[in-house]
Amino acid sequence: MDVRRRLGAEAFGTFWLVFGGCGAAVLATGYPDLGIGYAGVALAFGLTVVTMAYAVGHISGGHFNPAVTIGLVVAGRFDRKDALPYVIAQLVGAVAAAAVLFVVASGKHGFDAGDGFASNGYGKFSPGGYDLGAALLVEVVLTAFFLIVILGATAKRAAAGFGGLAIGLALTLIHLISIPVTNTSVNPARSTSQALFAGTDHLAQLWAFWVAPIAGAAIGALVWKALLEEGADEVPLAEGVA
């Protein structure tokens, strides 16, 4: 597959994930009668992955997340030489989406990106006031399980055609669990794009949302290889829908 098409698919897919998920959080919550709440934001993130998995997953593999890309390298399901270009494409898509969202949100009187802009955080920036240790733990555990779901759902013996749905539902569940803790990252590109617009204080916490998801993805990949891989007859992610 042409590398430009693959990178373009990753950028477009990550744009949709950030604009759909973070857009739901920034634009569609907070209204007593019409707001979608935490559950709605969780569903929005899941739907972005489901829709883009089927739209462009056959082109790039549908990572849309630097932690997923690195986890797949650890699992032996993705060529390490393509990892950095994928991560760059994901960051480009995420930042572009955050820029569009910022312009849209700025159309409302009183908007201030410094109020959070759907960024991730711990301590005073955690929706529920959770500390750094809780934030790191939940991000590591949930990203590890996310990788296991991805690897299992795209294995050759998995139900054909349902990988994208399983992965999207997993991301929905992940958000239902962890929005109160960190506002849910499990995706360094998503965290970076929002922090860039939220400001210096949010950027100071960004390191945690690179370290924890990548560590979790690597752990998930190693657990898969050690305990679950034998007999699963995996195929490359790009040949499945993820």
Q: In whole angstroms, give the CA distance from residue 143 to residue 145.
A: 5
CB 93 within 8 A of CB 12: yes
CATH number for the domain harbouring residue 111: 1.20.1080.10
Total domains, the chain? 1
Structure tokens at 148: 């296991």
Buried b (16+ CB within 10 A) or exposed e, 191-228: bbbbbbbbbeebeebbebbbebbbbbbbbbbebbeeee
Q: What is the pLDDT of residue 240?
A: 43
CB 67 within 8 A of CB 214: yes
Cα end-to-end distance, the chain, whole Å: 16
Which pLDDT tens digits describe the chain residue by residue (242 residues)? Answer: 689 999 999 999 999 999 999 999 999 987 766 778 999 999 999 999 999 999 999 999 999 999 999 999 999 999 999 999 999 999 999 999 999 999 999 999 999 999 989 999 999 999 999 999 999 999 999 999 999 999 999 988 877 788 999 999 999 999 999 999 999 999 999 999 999 999 999 999 999 999 999 999 999 999 999 998 865 454 444 444 43
Tell me, what DSSP letter sits at residue 224? Answer: I
Ramachandran angles phi, psi of 234, nearest 5°: -70, 155
Residue range of the domain that includes 161: 3-239
Question: Helix (H, G, I), strand (E, B), or coil: what is residue 155?
Answer: strand
Ramachandran angles phi, psi of 155, nearest 5°: -70, 155
Q: What is the pLDDT of residue 159?
A: 75
Q: In whole angstroms, give the CA distance from residue 217 to residue 219.
A: 5
Q: What is the pLDDT of residue 185?
A: 98
Q: What is the pLDDT of residue 228?
A: 86
Model-level pTM? 0.92
Identify the residue whose tokens are 């159309």: 107
Q: What is the pLDDT of residue 156?
A: 80
Q: What is the pLDDT of residue 238?
A: 45
